[in-house]
Amino acid sequence: MRALVINCSPVRTGATAEIGRIVSEELAGRYEVKFVCIDDYAFSFCKGCRRCHVTAECVRQDDVDILMKEFELADVIVCVSPSYWADVPGQFKAFIDRCTPWCNTHEPHKTIPSGKKGYAIALRTGPNIAECNRIIGTIEHFYGHLEVECCGGLGLTSVEYKENVEPRTQEIKEFCAKI
């Protein structure tokens, strides 16, 4: 069984990356884990041309197919996202937009193998859990269009720096035990 853990932040050494590292370590006993950062991949913005609605292929050629191959190989997908103005970072949103060829709202469309389970972890610097829930909702909406089963989310408030993660480690581990 394989797990894909995605740091949805372009920051490779911050709080989001630290949470992704903890998740990866916790899952390593049960899964073969691949931990990636959204910034490991280069992709362009969606042009909105809708060509993929006709061909199931994007007119742009970049790393979206490479990351989607990781989705295909994984049995479990965990997206860890910080809040950028109350939603996922632009880099991750650009990736989501570019996944339209896999979106189940039009035919033809590409597919990934069925039976995948998706989890979301959201963090923000302030105390408002509603913002975390909004981010989890964005990730779950994305999973839904890929036909990945949404299986749980964790919101972490008051986490700005890597140092703020350590007091929340047990909470993260308890969430991972459910994956």
Predicted confidence (pLDDT) per residue in 11-46, tens digit: 999 999 999 999 999 999 999 999 999 999 999 999
- Is residue 17 within 8 A of residue 46, CB to CB? The reply is no
List domains and CATH numbers for the chain. 2-176 (3.40.50.360)
Q: Which residue has the tokens 């703020």?
A: 164
Strands (E) in 44-129, as ranges, are: 76-82, 117-123
Q: Where are the alpha helices (DSSP H) in 28-63?
A: 52-55
Cα–Cα distance measured from residue 54 to residue 106, given in angstroms and rounded to the nearest whole number = 9
pLDDT tens digits, one per residue of 115-159: 999 999 999 999 999 999 999 999 999 999 999 999 999 999 999
Residue 22 confidence (pLDDT)? 98
Integer-rounded Cα radius of gyration of the chain: 16
Q: Is the peptide bond before 108 cis (omega within 30 degrees of 0)?
A: yes
- As a whole number, mean pLDDT of residues 153-178 equals 98
